């Protein structure tokens, strides 16, 4: 019996690696640095190299929440068998391949989520309504929140009465404060996940809330001061360096969020094998994203950078800041998100701020949203139909 489980796990792992490669080679591997390449801040090949490294690090250090949600949080009462895991991964990867071939913007988050729910329901599982409400809220709110924040930033950055040597450092300081409160392995009590601010708070005798706030403020001021110095002495170069830093953070967040779509369905099967830990599965998924970024992302980055070349560093910064914040919120909540949706909402928001509503192609937006909704419904239907005939 154990030999059979191991054999099925190996087959499922190959499907998972292919899915991870698709994630790294697709929009999740390309979009974080496409604005930077479009703004001539970094070359295409160097961008692919950097995004692969940060995607791997994000997958290993932050991938557990979304992976566990996809693996066991979408369906109650049943655990997907090995054949179900393989089916989910093949459905998700197959639909993504069709989207790439046809040019339709099919999102990995929607296909994998739909496939897991469809197969799970067919096997007799119960809907996890609370999780669905959480996922639905994030998916619906993302365009409005991401687009709104991008709109606000893009309106402020070009203003003559708000010099960039002040506005950009404030944004960078906000990002720095957020980073100190992100959860990382072993920083919590007894080796549990925790934040840098929380770890600092436990070393002193001051109230924990006060210590966390003070640490966050200190980090924000330090980052803001560094960026202020850089932008003041070299405005264009400083903006490019801020853009590269944000691209790295978004790539890191993409790895932490998107790896769960590739390895999440694999976790219930891995639990049946004593030698395979969640960390090992995350490392495998991270390596798949790394290879996908290095081998497949350059072409996508080059293509997307042409679309993003008109953004410039300021509008690109306005796009990437909310992308980072939304991605980290999704990681914290354990919600699978589409990086297409995250990035596109930021681009639209910053575009409206700069050029008004005329820059928005309503037909293209409707087509994109329709493809997202359609891919979710199709994956759910195919997963349910295929799950009914599983042995």
Question: In which residue are the tokens 């891995």 written?
Answer: 270
Give me 208's structure tokens. 């924990």
- Beta strands in 104-155, from DSSP E residues, in sequence order: 126-127
Alpha-carbon torsion (328, 332, 335, 336), positive or negative: positive
What's the pLDDT tens digit per position in 219-248? 999 999 999 999 999 988 888 899 899 989
Res 209: pLDDT: 85
What's the pLDDT tens digit per position in 132-179? 999 999 999 998 999 999 999 988 887 767 788 888 999 999 999 999
Mean pLDDT computed over 21-29: 78
CA neighbor of 283 nearest in space, from 7, 8, 57, 13: 57
Res 1: pLDDT: 47
What's the pLDDT tens digit per position in 34-78? 777 877 778 888 888 999 999 999 999 999 999 999 988 899 988
Backbone angles phi, psi at 277, to 5 degrees: -100, 165
Give me 257's structure tokens. 């969020």
What's the pLDDT tens digit per position in 302-348? 766 666 656 677 888 888 999 999 999 999 999 998 887 888 888 88
Res 299: pLDDT: 77
Res 309: pLDDT: 56
CA neighbor of 105 nearest in space, from 367, 361, 380: 367
What's the pLDDT tens digit per position in 356-377? 666 566 777 787 788 788 888 9
Backbone angles phi, psi at 304, to 5 degrees: -70, -35
Domain tally, the chain: 1
Range 126-134, long-range pairs (CB < 8 A, 24+ positions): 126/75, 126/76, 126/77, 127/75, 127/76, 128/73, 128/74, 128/75, 128/76, 131/69, 131/73, 131/74, 132/74, 134/333, 134/335
Res 356: pLDDT: 63
3-state secondary structure (DSSP) of residue 194: strand
Contact indicator for 321, 50 with CB cutoff of 8 Å: no
- What Å distances lie between residue 141 and 6, 25, 138, 158, 339, CA to CA? 41, 26, 5, 27, 14
H or E element at residue 243: helix 235-263
Determine the structural domain holding residue 174 and report its residue range.
Answer: 2-388
What's the pLDDT tens digit per position in 254-308? 999 989 988 988 888 777 777 778 888 999 999 999 998 898 888 777 766 666 6
Is the per-residue pLDDT at 125 higher than 50?
A: yes
Q: Could you tell me how many residues make up the chain?
A: 391
Res 216: pLDDT: 93
Res 283: pLDDT: 93
């Amino acid at each position: 019996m154990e030999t059979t489980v191991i054999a099925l796990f190996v087959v499922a792992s190959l499907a998972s690696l292919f899915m991870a490669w698709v994630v790294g080679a697709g929009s999740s591997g390309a979009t974080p640095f496409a604005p930077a390449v479009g703004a001539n801040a970094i070359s295409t090949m160097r961008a692919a190299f950097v995004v692969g490294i940060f995607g791997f690090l994000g997958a290993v250090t932050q991938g557990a929440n979304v992976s566990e949600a996809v693996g066991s949080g979408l369906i109650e009462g049943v655990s997907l068998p090995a054949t179900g895991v393989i089916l989910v991964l093949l459905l998700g990867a197959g639909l993504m391949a069709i989207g790439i071939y046809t040019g339709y913007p099919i999102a990995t988050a929607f296909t994998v989520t739909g496939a897991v729910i469809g197969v799970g329901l067919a096997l007799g599982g119960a809907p996890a309504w609370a999780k669905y409400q959480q996922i639905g809220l994030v998916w619906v709110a993302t365009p409005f929140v991401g687009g709104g924040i991008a709109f606000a930033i893009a309106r402020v950055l070009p203003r003559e009465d708000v010099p960039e040597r002040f506005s950009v450092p404030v944004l960078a300081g906000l990002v720095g404060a957020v980073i100190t409160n992100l959860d990382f392995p072993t920083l919590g009590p007894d080796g549990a996940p925790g934040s840098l601010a929380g770890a600092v708070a436990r070393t002193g005798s001051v109230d924990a809330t006060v210590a966390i706030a003070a640490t966050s403020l200190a980090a924000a001021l330090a980052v803001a001061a560094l960026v202020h110095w850089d932008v003041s002495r070299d405005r264009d170069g400083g903006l490019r360096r801020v853009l590269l830093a944000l691209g790295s953070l978004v790539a890191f967040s993409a790895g932490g969020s998107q790896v769960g779509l590739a390895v999440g369905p694999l976790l219930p099967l891995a639990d049946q094998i004593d030698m395979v830990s969640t960390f090992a599965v995350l490392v495998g998924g991270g390596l798949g994203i790394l290879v996908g970024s290095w081998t497949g992302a350059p072409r996508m980055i080059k293509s997307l950078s042409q679309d993003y070349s008109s953004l410039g560093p300021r509008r690109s910064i306005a796009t990437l800041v909310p992308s980072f914040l939304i991605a980290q919120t999704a990681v914290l909540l354990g919600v699978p998100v589409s990086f297409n949706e995250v990035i596109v909402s930021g681009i639209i928001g910053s575009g409206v701020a700069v050029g008004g509503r005329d820059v928005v192609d309503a037909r293209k937006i409707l087509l994109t949203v329709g493809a997202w909704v359609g891919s979710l419904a199709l994956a759910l239907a195919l997963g349910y139909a295929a799950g009914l005939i599983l042995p």
